[in-house]
Amino acid sequence: GYRQLLVHPYIISIVEELYGKNKCHLTSFSTNTIPAHASDVYWHVDHPYKAETRDTRHHVPLSLQINISLDEFTENNGATMFVPGSHRMTSEQRERAQKAGNVKTFICPTGTVLMYFGNLWHSAGENKTDNLRSILLANFSKVQFEPLKMKNPRDIPIAEQIREDDPDFKVVNGKVLLR
């Protein structure tokens, strides 16, 4: 199903071009659904960065976020907003740009694959509709970073979801690597 999208040759070619073969690992894979009429806007950077990190600029990005839209992304249904160029800014610069209104929105049809570096300053938008808005999220990080820690105790760590005979992934020292 959905997991097969992660090992699509196009996606793998980008991941391996960016990091090299066996130099990164899948740190998370989940869905994210914005409820109808949700107004929670939470600006952040993705794993392994932290929003309070002063300087998230790096020559080689530490992580690549892959989003696959399960619904159309519109201005009204909580589409992902971002500050252009924020992956090259300090935390003060990106927050200033966001507050100044230098914000764009990913508008796209269902099934679109969005890829961006984990240090891009972004947030889900407000969902002003009567419908849910869903997306698949995956994060590949450089291998020296630990997998994303699960917030919900019912969540199963990604390494525990991979079988020994999995044709696409292998677990090495608790990290999920591409075969």
DSSP-assigned letter for residue 147: P
Give the whole-angstrom CA distance, residue 158 versus residue 155. Answer: 9
Residue 72, helix vs strand vs coil:
coil
With a CB cutoff of 8 Å and minimum separation 6, the contacts of 54 are 90, 91, 92
More confident residue, 176 or 131: 131
Q: What is the pTM of this model?
A: 0.84
pLDDT single digits (tens) 29-65: 888 899 999 987 789 888 776 655 556 666 667 889 9
Residue type, 144: Q
pLDDT average, residue stretch 9-19: 89
**Cα of 162 vs its chain's centroid, Å:** 20
Q: How confident is the model at residue 159 (pLDDT cuts 50, 70, 90)?
A: confident
